[in-house]
Amino acid sequence: MTTLTQLYQSKLISIEKAVSFLKSDTDVIVAQCASEPQGCMSKFHLSKDNVHDVKVFSVLTLKPYDFYMKSEMKGHFELCSWFHAPGSRQAIKAGAGTVT
């Protein structure tokens, strides 16, 4: 008989595997502040070669993540931010074209 813990453990995957499920032309809405999925957001950029036009909606990002800080992410990812944190302001100032 499978316990709930065993069932839960059987469904766990790595963050890298989780972000590999990102699809083009998708909106990703993330939680805000302390609930921000920092592990996933720090790995979104790994899907760059497989996706385009992925919009990530956030209120205020806690870290400067590669998916919007690097200009080569333009066309692949766009951070749609309600408020601009230091990282997103820096990406805008640098003309990365990845933050709105």
Q: Which residue has the tokens 């990812």?
A: 77
Mean pLDDT of the chain: 95
Q: Is the pLDDT of residue 1 over 70?
A: no
pLDDT in tens, 53-75: 999 999 999 999 999 999 999 99
CB atoms within 10 A of CB 40: 17
* pTM of structure: 0.89
Which of helix, strand or coil describes residue 27?
Answer: strand
Distance CA 87, CA 99 (A): 10
Domain ranges of the chain: 4-94
C-alpha–C-alpha distance, residues 8 and 28, integer Å: 24
Name the CATH code of domain 4-94 (choices 3.90.550.10, 3.40.50.2000, 3.40.1080.10, 3.30.465.10).
Answer: 3.40.1080.10
